[in-house]
Structures are given as structure tokens and as C-alpha cells.
Amino acid sequence: MLDKPRLEDAKIMACLKVSYDLTVTGMEFLPLGYDSYAGVYRVQANGQLYFLKVKSDTVDELSVLLPRYLKEQGIEQVVAPLPTITQEPWGTVDHFTLILYPFIEGKSGWEVGLSDTQWTAFGTVLKKLHATRLTPELVKRMPKETFVPHPKWMAVIRQLHAAVGDQVYDHPFEKQLAAFWKSHHHEINTIIDHTEQLGRMLQDKSPGCVLCHADIHTANLLIDAQGKLFIVDWDQPVLAPRERDLMFVTVGGFVTEERAEALFFQGYGKTDIDPLVMAYYRYERVMEDLSAFAEHVFFMDVSDEKKQDSINWFMVQFAPGGLVEAAHKLDHVLSM
């Protein structure tokens, strides 16, 4: 979130005292991430550093229980939230939820890149995650892949796709994105149709599912000063085909170098990738990203900086080597 949550620092500090018995001596907002409903802070309290996530939307308890369970299974690379002093998963103030984590001094893998050793370590830990057996209680809580595109994001992109052709926009950011949308109208129509078509093709196949992080690109990896790798942001876990995660580590998805992919699979191990499943996830991701960035511009009260940044990211999806091109490369599966 580039914009600071609309919650006074004094209220955050008071909540941390009541919920976690922390006396805050320093707090800094960090303009990180693209979750429009969550802001993050570095907090100094009781002589230690903490990482605080402040969310304004609903929080699923699974996003706390699952990483704690994975940590208990010995997967040290998972960063798990800390319980409150009454063993609650988080604190609350006004309509915000405060989730506290240990602070790891480091930078994201997206920012600094991964070394050869780290790419292989990434593969090793993701294999462990995919092989983890969950408790019956966690399995009950886990969402399961249905191959039905996310209703909210599909509704957003369809609404805008129908509107931008005729509607006149006065706001400069809306006007800018609408003009770009019109110039890519046919391609966006293809993205919508292919996402739904691929989903229908997979709904009767029932491919095997594993525990997936579901957003495990390198921006959700932290690299500390010693080069150790950590996995953060467990807001979207799902039981799904392994391609749900492997989309982020294969050439044509979020990886551009064959060398990086090869190093990853040295750690992960040899595995077969279903091109039909991979095609669905690439198109679904593009559809969701376009919808989320467009939502910032057309529907949300965010800063001009956030709106312009969202427009830039929207356009990047269509650049050579971008995710739209990567999705199109698997179009042959539509005739399978």
C-alpha cells in the first residue's frame, strides 16, 4: 500500500499496548505492496523491532493459523504472525485489524534479485510447502480451487470493459487509462473470454491439489543480511494444482531467465507441468491484476501517486515480455 492507512498513530500504539503489551518507542510507515486494504509499519517497542500489518478489510484467520502451523512443522523460512497476550490472532481498533510479526531486516527478492543459491533454496522450500500434510481442521478452513475466476475481479473488468467505449471521463487519470483500454479493447476482451473458457475446460478434470501460497513471486520473499530467504504474505493460501505456485517461477510467467528456472527446479525436483492448468493461471492472474489496478483508478479514493502507479502497472502487463504475452503463448491449449 503506497498510501498510509487512515488510522491515527496514537490509536495504533494504544492497540499494541492493550493487545500485545508493547510500549511503542518508534513507528514508521513503509510504503510497500499493492494491497489497497493493508498498510505496513516498522515498529520499535520493548527494545525490539516488529513488522506490523494494518488491514481495513476482512481478515481470514487461516492467514494466521497456517503460517504458524508451517513454522511448527520446521519450515523456518515461513514468517508467522505473533499471538496477542490473550492468544488471539490479532488486535483490533476501529474497523482495522492489526497483525504483528517479528521484524526481519532485509530486502525483497524482487528488489535485490536472487543468487544462484537462493533460487535453489527457493525451490527446496516450495517443494516442502507443497508436500506438507495439513491437519483436518486446517483442511476444512482452506479454500479449494474451483477454476471459476474470482467473481469480484471478473465483475470489475467486465463492468469497465462495457463502459470505457462510450463513457466520457473528466478526471485525467481515468481519461488516461480509458484511452489505453480502448486501444487494447480487443485484447482485453480475449483475456476475459480465455480466462472463463480455460476455467470451464478444467472444471471437469479435477487435477490433484497441494497446499499453495498462491502469490509466491519474489516480492513476497525476504532476503536478510546473511542471504537467508523468508516467505511472507499468507493472505491467499489455497488447495490447488502446483501450477498455481509454479506460474511464478517458470519462464513466461514472472521469470524471464531460463537459468533462474533451472536453478529453482534443482531445488524443487523434476516435475511435470500441465500446460492447460498453467494457461488458466496465467490468464486468471492477468485478469485479476488488470482489474485491481483499474479499481484503484476508477473506483477508489487513493492518492494521485497511487493512481498513476496503477496506470503504469496496468500498461506494463501489455509490454513485450509481459504477462499478457506470456498468457498468449499457451493459447494452443484451447484446441486440446
CATH of domain 111-335: 1.10.510.10
45-78, pLDDT tens digit by residue?
999 999 999 998 778 889 899 999 999 999 999 9
Same fold, 9-103 and 111-335: no
Give the number of other CB atoms < 10 A from CB of residue 257.
Answer: 10
pLDDT, tens only, 202-241: 998 878 899 999 999 999 999 999 999 999 989 899 999 9
Amino acid sitting at position 47: G
CA–CA distance, 307 with 297 (Å, rounded to integer): 5
Confidence bin at 102 (pLDDT 50/70/90): very high
pLDDT at position 2, please? 64
Q: Highest mean pLDDT: which of 35-39, 158-162, 302-306, 331-335?
A: 158-162
For the chain, counts of helices (H) and of strands (E): 13, 10
Mean pLDDT of 293-298: 95
Domain ranges of the chain: 9-103, 111-335
Give the three cell numbers for residue 210: 497441494
Q: What CATH number was assigned to the domain covering residues 9-103? A: 3.30.200.20
On whether the CB atoms of residues 244 and 238 are closer than 8 A, the answer is yes
- The pLDDT value given to residue 167: 92
Three cell numbers written together for 189: 476482451
Give the residue among 286, 307, 316 at the shortest CA–CA distance from 154.
286
Measured CA angle at 290 (ends 289, 296), to 5 deg: 90
Residue with cell 501489455: 318
Expressed in percent and rounded to 5, the helix, strand and coil fractions of the chain are: 50, 15, 35
Q: Extract the runs of DSSP E, i.e. beta strands, from the chain.
A: 24-30, 38-45, 48-55, 91-93, 96-102, 106-108, 210-212, 221-224, 229-231, 238-240
DSSP for 230-283, please give it: EE---SS-EEE-THHHHGGGSBTTTB--HHHHHHHHHHH------HHHHHHHHH
* Total-model pTM: 0.87
Q: Using alpha carbons only, what angle is made at residue 219 by residues 216 and 220, rounded to the nearest 5 degrees?
A: 50
Return the DSSP state at 83.
Answer: P
What whole-number distance in Å separates Cα of residue 152 and Cα of residue 311?
Answer: 20
